[in-house]
Structure 1
Amino acid sequence: MLNDAVSSLSFFLFLAVSVVTADPAFNDDVLGLIVFKAGLDDPYSKLASWNAEDYDPCNWAGCVCDPGSNRVTELRLDGFSLSGHIGRGLLRLQFLHTLVLSNNNLTGTLNPEFPHLGTLQVLDFSGNNLSGRIPDGFFEQCGSLRSVSLANNQLTGPLPVSLSYCSTLTHLNLSSNQISGRLPREIWFLKSLKSLDLSVNFLQGLLPDGIGGLYDLREFNLSKNWFSGDIPSDIGTCSSLTSLDLSDNYFSGSLPNSMKTLGSCTTIRLRGNSLIGEIPDWIGEMASLETLDLSANNFSGNVPLSLGNLEFLKVLNLSTNMLAGEIPQTISNCSNLISIDVSKNSLTGDVLRWMLNRNSESSSLSRFSLDKRSGNDTFLSTVGFLQSLRVLDLSSNGFSGEIPSNIWILTSLVQLNMSTNSLFGSIPSGIGGLKVAEILDLSSNLLNGTLPSEMGGAVSLKKLYLQRNRLTGQIPAQISNCSALNAIDLSENKLSGGIPGSIGSLSNLDYLDLSRNNLSGSLPKEIEKLSHLVTFNISHNSITGELPSGGFFNTIPLSAVTGNPSLCGSVVNRSCLSVHPKPIVLNPNSSNPANAPPLSGQIRKSVLSISALIAIGAAAFIAIGVVAVTLLNVHARSSLSRHDAAAAAAALAFSVGETFSCSPSKDQEFGKLVMFSGEADVFDTTGANALLNKDCELGRGGFGVVYKTHLQDGRPVAVKKLTVSGLIKSQEEFEREMRKLGKLRHRNVVEIKGYYWTQSLQLLIHEFVSGGSLYRHLHGDESICLTWRQRFSIILGIARGLAYLHGSNITHYNLKSTNVLIDATGEAKVSDFGLAGLLASTLDRCVLSGKVQSALGYTAPEFACRTVKITEKCDVYGFGILVLEVVTGKRPVEYAEDDVVVLCETVREGLEEGRVEECVDGRLRGNFPAEEAIPVIKLGLVCGSQVPSNRPEMEEVVKILELIQCPSHDLE
């Protein structure tokens, strides 16, 4: 209705203004711009200078005129916060050659007439909310069009073949939309193209032959699509190519030899595919390369020596492959490197020898000069390569050797990760020379010796991980010079001496683990100043004296301090000796017949309140009403179910032989069946009958009923029969969302295998998870007591699955224990995601919250506030409540006789009062490591914060859980 009103207003305004065109000074530009403005909402009055009484638009905001003719040639309204539709008034600007309306909030579909303006050269509608398909005729008369950007909108459908008509087009950017289908072969007819960006869409299939004919192509980006098959063998013919990004697709095979001729290419990103074979030696012939990212593939063999020929290389990422052997010393010839990541391979050899070996006779030695410092050994200093390096990640390999004493020459290093290798020797004092380093991770190695006091020179450190080594000696007091530290882990070493009081000055510290060492002496009073602590562990040392009291230390679990026989205080239930006589005090926690709260609680339980009687009566009345309504509707439901089952039975009998294939009949009774597996899956013809078989029902939710059925080869699958058909706008919208969900693959996310569509029936086919829901494991009639280890694994699995969904731009909206499934191995799998996203634009948020968050207690508070944006932080809130549910074994909201118990509130109160045992499922009976349980509970409370900005990102949550996890404990 609003759009119709705006269109009518524009039309009548058009007629009204046309009357004054008899005045020769009132040209078409003024008329067109005023009509265009009438269809817009301008909240910040950016177009206040556009006045119908002004006959000269050349001084209007965003307008540029030709000085000779005073006609508008450029209209630039980038970032004006405009909303509304792009009206036809602009078509009157016959001399316009640049139209930029980017970064606004414009809606509606594309008008196919805009590119037909005879003089238009630049068209930029990026960063809006335009939707619908790109019209088939949009590019049919593209005239002199040279640059088109429709990026960051919500455009759908296939690429129009009419694109090939734009012979003058040099730049095309359609990235970050929802464009689907295959890449038309005709796109290679655009011989003038210099830049093509189709990234972050749903394009699929093989790349057609012919790209080699684009001799002027410089930037080519197809990342984050579903392309498969080999990289085109003729891509090397694009001799002008400077940037190639095919990352996050399904490309396979080896790198085509023709790529070695790309002498002008500066950037190659191929991460996240399934490429195989060795990294070819000819990679060193691509002399202009600055970024080479081959990570997350299946490359094997050695790192080629020829990489040393890439003197302009800045970023090298070979992580997460199957590379072996040593890193060649020739890499030190790459004098401009700022980031090296070779983590998660099988590389071996002496760590950093290729970089810092002072005895090397390689040609790279000419880049170093010799220097003497304080009578120490000869050090190497450098210009170029070493002073530019900012990121060095060698983690999770098989490196050995000692950390070079001249590590200080890496003066620009921000991140150094050499964890999970076999490094030995001591930590050199030169580590303190890393003045800008923020992350230092040397954990899980064989390092010995003492922590050098010079470490305090690394003043920018935020995270220090040295756990699981063989370090000895004292913790240097100079560590307090690293004032930005928020995480210190020195656990599982052989450190001795006292804990320095200077640690108390690290005001940002939230994670401190000194457990399993030989530390002694008393805890310094300064420790009490650490107000942001979430994790604190000094267990299994020889700490003596009294534990601090108050604040965070009232919540310390016993396991965080256990193994220190001479500690005293309320946490360890051991009184501290004093030279002064003790006054007689009453222990408020002891059993006392005069204690009022227990007595009052007993009295309250013995009396049935008036409010409880009212609630019981209301519940009985509602129950009678529900039964009556159910009986009245049963006949209508049964007839509709019979029709749906007949349609499903016909559809599910068809064979599906392609990755995306549908049943051959066009009869609406049969609908469309799509399977993502690429296998010839055939449903058993009894599968449809199962949709009406109560015995095959697995569960019911806000969106429908889930049944178990089987493929014809006997494999079980789960089929969700949706009950929200009337809320799904179109088949295209439904299928677009399903294709997006069908691409997801993660061990903690339920796999979507396919879908079935008719106008009256939609089925969602996904993997069958045998263990049932987490809710059943926690609260079901046949539930068994999960061990702590099982609970922690479930929480971590949910976090990883949710982080993966967020990384794929999917918000769950509906996280709760019934939507987490447990497989036969005890692994948690997040399910029922994406459907709320399909309906989020249709439903009012209050209706949506009631629909998807049908279990009380998981709904983020911002659902109740229309002015607060709904984001992924809603999922984080639901996750926080779910964490507390798993730990306590209690529902998010439970009802007492005359009261409502909110889990989040009771856990917070219990933790603050030091009643840790009450915050964990009583069935565990103390069989849990409190050093894990307490931080997990606190993490759940932080995630369940009422303020969205206080909740962490799920990626951060995963990292925190991995830090909390104590592998040395294996409680069953």
Structure 2
Amino acid sequence: MCTRLMSMESFLLLVLCLFASFLACFQGRVAVEGLSSTDIQLNDDVLGLIVFKSDIHDPSSYLSSWNEDDESPCPWKYVKCNPVTGHVSELSLDGLGLSGRIGRGLEKLQHLKVLSLSSNDFSGDISPEKVALPVGLERLDLSHNNLSGQISNSIVNMNTIRFLDLSDNSLSGTVPDNLFDNCFSLHYLSLAGNFLEGNIPNSLSKCLILNSLNLSSNHLSGNPNFASGIWLFKRLRQLDLSSNEFSGPIPEGMSAIHNLKEVQIRNNHFSGSLPADVGLCPHLNRLDFSENEFTGTLPESFQRSNSLTHFSLHNNNLEGDFPQWIGKLSSLEYLDFSSNGFTGIIPSSMGDLKSLNYLSLSNNKLVGNIPLSLAYCTKLSVIQLKGNNFNGSIPESLFNLGLEEIDISDNQFSGSIPKGSGRLFESLKILDLSRNNIRGNIPAEMGLFSSLSYLNLSWNNLRSRMPPELGFFQNLTVLDLRSSALYGPIPGDICDSGSLEILQLDGNSLSGPIPVEIGNCSSLSLLSLSHNNLSGPIPKSISELSKLKILKMEFNQLTGEIPRELGRLENLLDVNISYNRLIGRLPVGSIFPSLDASALQGNLGICSPLLKGPCKMNVPKPLVLDPNAYPNQVDGNEKHNESSIFTKSHHHMFLSVSAIVAISAACLIAIGVLVVSLLNASTRRRLAFVEDVLESMCSSSSRSGSPPSTGKLILFDSESPPDCISSPASLLNKASEIGGGVFGTVYKVSLGAQERMVAIKKLVTSNIIQCPEDFDREVRVLGKARHQNLVSLKGYYWTPQMQLLVMEYVPNGSLQSKLHERLPSSPPLTWANRFKILLGTAKGLAHLHHSFIPPIIHYNIKPTNILVDENFNAKISDFGLLRLVRKLDKHVVSNRFQSALGYVAPELACQSLRVNEKCDIYGFGILILELVTGRRPVEYGEDNVVILSDHARVMLEQGNVLECVDPSMKEYPEDEVLPVLKLALVCTSQIPSSRPSMAEVVQILQVIKTPVPQRMEIF
């Protein structure tokens, strides 16, 4: 037994000895290889970076040096380690073209201080469940990526963070109220260029050492609470709140921030007066209060801003005299006071601004001459003075500067165009002297402007010929010489450069033929030669202008047939050749088969079913042989002689008849030409005369006949006689105004003893039908347009001074309010509701287009005219008002463009008056895009303009069109959204004939909504 115990003890001693030996060997190995307990942590750094790399795509292999078998990441590219501890302290991967998700791998880097991933294409949600970052970060830069989701209050540790930049991503939602509770170390914060909304959190006021704050280009709203918040940042140097939805006044207190250098709050809804102490910030060098609603005059404190280099107040409601102390701001480089109500003159002290590079005072009420001292501003590059009341001559010294842009249009300048100097020849790119009273020749020296790309001398009184030197411009893309009293021929070398894209010579006295060399304008998209004295045929060389979209030649003396080759111009959208002397058939291709009568009328004999009158063709003359040209070779005898005598006498008789016919035909043609010439010469006066006569007849018939009651309310659905409205203006007070547009203003009004609520539209009196019979007839046609998706017309009120339409009142608001103006507390439109609105709108338009002859054209499709009831049924308002307009003139067209930017069909771009169903279909296509994407048809950025239809088309071609879908829609069926987007692009085709009818649109939408197994392929 003892022996067995001794053996057991010996065994245990042996095991202990072996373990001790193994431990000694292991320690020796550690000593040899230099490993320590720190290296275990370094392996965590390798692991974290390798896990992070596995989630991203590196197309250029920038991270190829990252090897998982390495024991330390310190030698890797873009990685920096602390030299003392050996831990990873900085990771900078800016601008490497990386994509993918950030993931949770970086959480392992517990000693990371700096993380910079800007200017890549990282995507995905940044919620804590998807992204985890080290807790000790001091600098985080995730800007210029495609990250999405809401900002979490745990995204970083606010106790340690000093620099936080999440700008230019797709972050949305509100900023958490408690995000900045512990931001005691934060120096720099940028959340710009996202989709954030709501108010600025009050906790931001705790960031007392903040140096730079940028919240621009979001949807933030409310008042930023300057007095109790931002003005407390005593160390603030840069403040940018631009392009948000902030409102309200800005209180004083800015002067308390002594280090303030930049303040940018442009493109908001700030109102009231400018803060009086803003000029007391001694270091202020950039101030941009533009595109707001500020009123009043400029505070006197501004003249103390000696450090100011950038000063912009454009597009406000400021008034008062232009400041005479402006010359004291000696550091100014950029000055923009445009689109306000400033009065007075430009002081001569403006010449003291020796550093001034950009000057814009456009669209004010300034008067007087341009001061000669402005020539002392030798660094001036851009000068814009358009839309004022300046007079006198243009200073020649101004044309001796190295300017890139001169825009002094729409003033009262007189005299001649200065010749310019060598500096200007090399630098000038834009010259706009239009809408003045400039006289004299176009200087031949203009051909020396080697960089000029835009030249506009229209609406002047030049009374000169077109100089051939205009063809010397190598970079000219726009040449506008409309209504400038030019005469003589069009120079043949006007297109020698080949860069011209727009050529407008309308409304002059140009004569002679259109030069054949016009075919050299290979880049031309708009050619307008109307209202001149041009003669001869239309040259075939125009068919070589493959990019041509608009061709206007009306009111000239052009003759012959239209070259058939013009049918090859596939990009043509608009052609007008009316009131010439053209004959023959129209070209077969391009837009010619679908031209309206208004684009063809007033010619001698164009062959078209749209026109009444003769159809004349240029056909070859018949071949007539002289019987005596080849005499008989048989020798003479009596029979032959008799035959010869008979032949001769018969021939003489034939010639006499032919001569008579020819002379008669010539006389008829001459008389016809004379009549047509006289008609052409008096066309405008006759049209005006006819309109006056019709109005006179209308007035007389109203007096003598029995017109509809004037001064009374006519209700179509009421059997009782209407009461007389003694004072309609009393019903239409400002408080009851609920909207407005091209055709008038809409009011919410209660009528009758039962106080029935209706909407009343007060029509603009300009250009509205003034004949009560015609007005009554047209309104009753619109009143018959009853459909569940149309706002019904209830009646009207008519006097010569006021016309009102009484309509159904829809209390739930417009699509505009649901889509673009909803409160943060209101839920976004779901896909089901959006589709319901689209289908209802399509059915309403289809009823207007297909149930009436002629069809009722809406002409003004946009979200403000689509009303939505409580069940999200669409109701179209303002339809058919085009019927109440006597003539679609320039005023109506230009107002339409301004009020419905992006919805106007391209064929109306040059005010062509061919309004038809296709225009509505184009607008409906834009409406689809706006509903699906949640974006406006045209969006303006700082450096670019985004056209929604073009953007969606490009995304579709790249296979990424679903990325356009409104991010506020959390869920949507791709198999419905994708074909709807494709339908929108078909409806917005540049060629009207390629767009479907509204009946076809309704059919397609109904097919899209059917269950997938039953759905047929529609695209």
After TM superposition, is the score higher than 0.5? yes
Shift of 1:204: 1.3
**CA pair 334-213 structure 1, distance change in 2 beyond 3 A:** same
Which residue of the other structure, out of 416, 419, 425, is the alignment partner of 2:434? 419
User: Is the contact between residue 401 and residue 424 of structure 2 (CA under 8 Å) also seen in structure 1?
Assistant: yes
Aligned to 2:515: 500
Q: String of CA shifts for 1:304-347, please: whole Å, max 9, x gaps.
A: 33334444444433333333444445444444444444444444
Deviation at 1:487? Answer: 0.4
State the match for 2:254 in structure 1: 235
Contact 1:422 1:445 in 2 (8 A): yes
Q: Which amino acid aligns with 2:810?
A: V
Match of 1:17 in 2: none
Within 5 Å, which residues of 2 pair with 1:541-552?
541-544=556-559, 547-552=562-567
Distance 1:765 1:301 in 2: 52
* 1:754/1:764 contact within 8 Å kept: no
- Pair 1:54-2:150 in alignment: no
Distance 1:875-1:446 versus aligned 2 partners, 3 A rule: farther
Q: Distance in 2 between matches of 1:721 and 1:255?
A: 34
Offset of residue 238 of structure 1: 2.9
Quote how far apart the aligned CAs of 1:199 are: 0.9
Paired AA for residue 198 in structure 2: G
Cα distance change on mapping 1:759 and 1:472 into 2, 3 Å: closer
Deviates more, 1:50-59 or 1:159-168: 159-168
* C-alpha deviation, 1:45, in angstroms: 5.0
**How far off its partner does 1:878 sit?**
4.5
Structure 1 residue 753: deviation in Å?
A: 13
Tell me which residue corresponds to 1:517: 532
Q: CA deviation at 1:229?
A: 0.9
1:255 is the counterpart of 2:354: no
Aligned to 1:401: 414
What secondary structure sits across from 2:488 in the alignment? coil
Query: Which structure exhibits the higher relative contact order, with contacts defined as CA atoms closer than 8 Å and separated by 6 or more residues?
Result: 1
Matched, 1:65 2:81: yes
Among 179, 204, 210, the alignment partner of 2:221 is: 204
Structure 1 residues 878 and 82: CA distance shift in structure 2, 3 A: same
Q: Return the alpha-carbon distance in structure 1 between the equivalents of residues 832 and 998 of structure 2.
A: 37
Partner of 2:317: 298
**What SS does structure 2 have at the residue aligned with 1:36?**
helix
Equivalent position of 2:849 in the other structure: 778
What is the aligned counterpart of 1:801 among 900, 903, 908?
900
> Of residues 394, 405, 426 in structure 2, which corresponds to 1:391?
405
What is the CA–CA distance in structure 2 between the aligned matches of 1:161 and 1:181, rounded to whole Å?
Answer: 14
How far apart are 1:108 and its partner, in Å? Answer: 2.0
Distance change >3 Å, CA 741–CA 169, structure 1 → 2 = same
Match of residue 125 from structure 1: 142
CA distance in 1, matches of 2:535, 2:337: 44
Q: Deviations over 1:169-197 (max 9, x none)?
A: 22111012222222234424433322211
How many Å separate the matches in 1 of 2:45 and 2:904?
Answer: 48
Residue identity opposite 1:218 in structure 2: R
Question: Relative to structure 1, is the Cα distance of residues 569 and 178 closer, same or farther in structure 2, using a 3 angstrom cutoff?
Answer: closer
Pairing of 1:474-873 with structure 2 (within 5 A) = 474-524=489-539, 526-544=541-559, 547-552=562-567, 560-565=576-581, 572=606, 574-576=616-618, 699=788, 716-717=809-810, 719=812, 741-742=820-821, 773-781=844-852, 784=855, 786=857, 797=896, 801=900, 803=902, 835-837=931-933, 866=959
Partner residue, 1:962: none
Distance of 1:531 and 1:832 partners within structure 2 = 31
Q: Which runs of 5+ in 1 are unaligned?
A: 1-19, 369-376, 584-656, 658-676, 688-695, 723-736, 744-751, 807-816, 840-852, 854-858, 896-945, 947-972
CA distance in structure 2 between the partners assigned to 1:133 and 1:175 by the alignment? 14
Q: Deviations over 1:698-721 (max 9, x none)?
A: 757xxxx99999xxxx99335499
Aligned identity (percent) is 28
Alignment CA distance shift 1:582-1:780 (3 Å): farther
Q: Tell me if the contact between 2:186 and 2:207 (Cα under 8 Å) persists in the aligned partners.
A: yes
Query: Aligned partners of 2:379, 2:101: CA distance in 1, in Å?
Result: 60
- What is the aligned partner in structure 1 of residue 90 from structure 2? 74
1:441 aligns with one of 456, 466, 471: 456
Once residues 91 and 328 of structure 2 are traced to their aligned partners in structure 1, the CA distance between those partners, rounded to angstroms, is 48
CA contact (8 A) 1:112 1:135 kept: no
| Structure 1 residue 71 displacement after superposition | 2.4
Greater Rg over alpha carbons, structure: 2
1:880 paired to 2:959? no
2:820 aligns to what SS in structure 1?
helix
Kindly provide the CA deviation profile for residues 724-783 of structure 1, in whole angstroms up to 9, marking residues without a partner as x: xxxxxxxxxxxxx9787107xxxxxxxx999579999989999xx999954433223586
Between the aligned partners of 1:567 and 1:560, the Cα distance in structure 2 is 14
CA contact (8 A) 2:417 2:440 kept: no
Of 151, 159, 171, the match for 1:142? 159
Q: CA RMSD in A?
A: 5.5
**Which of 307, 318, 322 does residue 288 from structure 1 map onto?**
307
Distance 1:308 1:773 in 2: 61
Distance apart, 1:105 and its partner CA = 2.3
1:493: how far off?
1.3
Measure, in 2, the Cα distance between the counterparts of 1:548 and 1:99: 67
- Structure 2 unpaired stretches of 5+: 1-35, 381-392, 588-605, 608-615, 626-734, 736-745, 758-784, 795-806, 858-881, 906-915, 936-948, 966-980, 1004-1018
Instruction: Decide whether the 8 Å contact of 2:549 with 2:574 is kept in 1.
Output: no
Taking a change above 3 Å as real, the CA distance of residues 214 and 36 of structure 1, as seen in their structure-2 partners, is same
Counterpart-to-counterpart distance in 2, 1:429 and 1:884: 43
Worse overlay, 256-265 or 510-519: 256-265
Identify the match of residue 481 of structure 2 among 466, 471, 478: 466
| Mapped partners of 2:358, 2:894: distance in 1 | 34
1:930 corresponds in structure 2 to none
Q: Provide Cα deviations, 1:795-848, integer angstroms capped at 9, x if missing partner.
A: 994896363899xxxxxxxxxx999999xxxx9997677542379xxxxxxxxx
- Give the deviation of 1:494 after TM superposition: 1.7
Structure 1 pair 496–835 and aligned structure 2 pair: CA distance change class (3 A): closer
Q: 1:164 to 1:335 in 2, by over 3 A?
A: farther
CA deviation after TM superposition for structure 1 residue 57, in Å: 0.9
Distance 1:575 1:394 in 2: 50
What letter matches 1:405 in structure 2? P
Kindly provide the amino acid, as one letter, of the partner of residue 213 in structure 2.
L
Aligned counterpart in structure 2 of residue 180 of structure 1, from 197, 214, 222: 197
Q: What SS does the corresponding residue of 2:487 show, helix, strand or coil? A: coil
CA, structure 1 residues 36+533, in 2 after alignment: closer, same or farther (shift >3 Å)?
A: closer
Do structure 1's residue 163 and structure 2's residue 180 form an aligned pair? yes
Tell me, in whole angstroms, the C-alpha distance in 2 between the residues paired with 1:84 and 1:505.
Answer: 50
Count residues with an aligned counterpart.
694
Q: Give the TM-score of the pair, scaled to structure 2.
A: 0.57
Q: C-alpha separation between the residues in 2 aligned to 1:892 and 1:270?
A: 49
Q: Look up the match of 2:601.
A: none
CA contact under 8 A between 2:496 and 2:520: conserved in structure 1? no
Q: C-alpha distance in 2, partners of 1:244/1:378?
A: 36
Return closer, same or farther for 1:328/1:754 CA change in 2, 3 Å cut-off: farther
Residue 271 of structure 1 corresponds to 290
2:45 pairs with 1:29: yes
Alpha-carbon separation, structure 1, partners of 2:793 and 2:124: 42
* Counterpart Cα distance in 2 of 1:528 and 1:247: 48
On the 8 A contact 2:525/2:549 being kept in 1, the answer is yes
Taking the aligned partners of 1:283 and 1:54, their CA distance within structure 2 comes to 62
- Using a 3 Å threshold, how does the CA distance of structure 1 residues 804 and 742 change in structure 2: closer, same or farther? farther
| Aligned-partner Cα distance in 1 for 2:448–2:567 | 34
Equivalent position SS for 2:494:
helix
Post-superposition offset of 1:483: 2.9
Q: 1:225 is matched with which residue?
A: 244
